[in-house]
């Protein structure tokens, strides 16, 4: 059997490409195959590292931007909503309440935007060399995690200032981060694929994200909504990660029903992303 023979001969190589490759017209759902992702982890690492280096090259403030964005929105929301609106945060000081939600939101919105432009922006690579295409939006989304960590670090002086120390709930933070990452991956990969086919995404996305901010429990919390509308809000896949961040950072209560509904919406989002991506992946080099 040829496969066995070649395996012996190239035993020295355990590189990114398999030893026996069969190329044929494909169908199916293989875009997010975990084995392929694992064998390409080094390339993923390099792509994330490139995204980070390039993003902050020639910026005067560098990584400070990662903190400035949620911080300035926090100030804005505090001025606008904490005094004049009846939407007051349940127990925590409003700036903390807003900032804890802005962290996952900023990560999510940036990840979606970067992800959406990632494939089209890498056309020059993708038409010249093969590697699993999904690595490109994956790297664009995951590189945002570093910004999220900077944002979290800023929380330390904020909490000290408002005398609101974190409790044992903080142990849930990795779960909250993982949840946010999954939602961001779904949206980023999906938009990346759609953008290949329909460049409308470039115009629609900034506007959709603005609307989405107000539809998500960022400057209010889900339980401040009228009870019969809460389930609608829960359909928003970003809702659960935001509330999970608040629950773990500030020790606010978490609604399990919200987690379930929002989780289901996330699964739908991931399925849509995988399906669309697979379809575009077939013909990517021919379209872009």
Partner 1 sequence: MDPIISVRGLGKQYRIGAQRAAYRTLRESIMRTLSGGVRRRSGEGARTFWALRDVTVDVAPGEVVGIIGRNGAGKSTLLKVLSRITEPTEGEVDLYGRVGCLLEVGTGFHGELTGRDNIFLSGAVLGMRREEINRKFDDIVAFAEVAPFLDTPIKHYSSGMTVRLAFSVAAHLDPEILIIDEVLAVGDAPFQQKCLGRMEDAARQGRTILFVSHNMAAVRGLCRRVLLLEAGRIAMDGDVDACINRYLARGTAPGTNQVDVSAVHRRHGYGGLQFQRVTLGAADNRAIVALGRPIDLQMEVRVETAVNDLELSVVVETAEGVRVCECPSSLTLGRIARLEPGAYRLECRIDQNILNPGRYVLTVIAGCGRRVLDEVPDALAFEIAWTRDGAPDSREDLSGLVRVRSTWTAPTPS
Q: Does residue 11 belong to the site contacting partner 1 (CB under 8 A)?
A: no
Q: How many residues line the site for partner 1 (CB under 8 A)?
A: 47
Q: Does residue 35 belong to the site contacting partner 1 (CB under 8 A)?
A: no
Contact between 216 and 183 under an 8 Å Cβ cutoff? The reply is: no
Cβ at position 131, least distance to partner 1 in Å: 7
Dihedral sign computed on CA atoms, order 230, 235, 240, 243: negative
Stretch binding partner 1 (CB under 8 A), from 17-25, 64-72, 148-156, 260-268: 17-25
Contact partners, residue 167, CB within 8 Å, separation at least 6: 251
Report how far residue 42's alpha carbon sits from residue 37's, in angstroms, rounded to the nearest whole number.
10
Q: Does residue 43 belong to the site contacting partner 1 (CB under 8 A)?
A: yes
Here the tokens at position 246 are 């608040």
Among 29, 85, 91, 130, binds partner 1 (CB under 8 A): 130
Q: Does residue 287 belong to the site contacting partner 1 (CB under 8 A)?
A: yes
Q: Does residue 91 belong to the site contacting partner 1 (CB under 8 A)?
A: no
3-state SS, residue 12: coil
Among 65, 131, 172, 275, binds partner 1 (CB under 8 A): 131
Q: Does residue 90 belong to the site contacting partner 1 (CB under 8 A)?
A: no
State which residue, 43 or 63, has the beta carbon closest to partner 1: 43
Here the tokens at position 65 are 């931007």
Cβ at position 112, least distance to partner 1 in Å: 18
Contact between 277 and 192 under an 8 Å Cβ cutoff? The reply is: yes
**DSSP character for 220?**
S
Site for partner 1 in 145-204 (CB under 8 A): 196-200
Cβ at position 12, least distance to partner 1 in Å: 10
Stretch binding partner 1 (CB under 8 A), from 103-111, 120-128, 185-193, 242-250: 120-128
State which residue, 140 or 218, has the beta carbon closest to partner 1: 140
Upper half-sphere CA count for residue 283 (Cβ side, 13 Å): 7
State which residue, 129 or 211, has the beta carbon closest to partner 1: 129
3-state SS, residue 29: coil
Residue with tokens 């408002």: 162
DSSP states of 125-187 as a string?
HHTT--S-TTHHHHHHHHTHHHHHHHHHHHHHHHHHHTT----GGGGGHHHHHHHHHHHHHHH
Cβ burial of 252 (10 Å; 0-12, 13-18, 19+) is: buried
Q: Does residue 3 belong to the site contacting partner 1 (CB under 8 A)?
A: yes
Cβ at position 57, least distance to partner 1 in Å: 4
Stretch binding partner 1 (CB under 8 A), from 129-137, 214-222, 228-236, 255-263: 129-137
Q: Does residue 80 belong to the site contacting partner 1 (CB under 8 A)?
A: no
Residues that bind partner 1 (CB under 8 A): 2-3, 5-6, 9-10, 13-17, 19-26, 42-43, 46-47, 50, 53-54, 57-58, 124-131, 196-200, 282-283, 285-288
């Amino acid at each position: 059997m040829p496969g066995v023979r070649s395996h012996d001969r190239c035993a020295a190589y355990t590189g990114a490409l398999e030893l026996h490759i069969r190329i044929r017209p494909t169908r199916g759902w293989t875009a997010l195959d975990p084995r392929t992702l694992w064998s390409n982890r080094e390339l993923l690492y390099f792509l994330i590292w490139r995204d980070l280096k390039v993003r902050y090259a020639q910026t005067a403030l560098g990584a400070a931007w990662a903190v400035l964005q949620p911080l300035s929105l926090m100030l804005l929301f505090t001025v606008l909503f904490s005094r004049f609106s009846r939407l007051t945060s349940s127990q925590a000081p409003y700036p903390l309440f807003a900032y804890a939600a802005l962290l996952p939101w900023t990560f999510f919105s940036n990840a979606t935007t970067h992800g959406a432009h990632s494939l089209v922006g890498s056309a020059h690579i993708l038409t010249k060399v093969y590697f699993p295409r999904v690595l490109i939006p994956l790297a664009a989304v995951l590189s945002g995690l570093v910004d999220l960590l900077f944002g979290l670090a800023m929380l330390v002086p904020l909490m000290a200032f408002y005398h609101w120390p974190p409790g044992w709930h903080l142990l849930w933070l990795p779960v909250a981060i993982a949840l946010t990452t999954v939602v961001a991956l779904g949206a980023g990969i999906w938009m990346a694929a759609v953008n290949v086919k329909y460049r409308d995404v470039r115009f629609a996305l900034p506007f959709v994200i603005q609307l989405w901010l107000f539809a998500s429990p960022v400057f209010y919390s889900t339980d401040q909504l009228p009870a019969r509308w809460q389930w609608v809000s829960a359909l928003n896949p970003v809702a659960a990660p935001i509330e999970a961040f608040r629950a773990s950072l500030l020790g606010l209560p978490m609604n399990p029903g919200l987690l379930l509904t929002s989780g289901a919406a996330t699964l739908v989002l991931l399925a849509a992303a995988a399906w669309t991506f697979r379809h575009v992946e077939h013909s990517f080099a021919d379209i872009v």
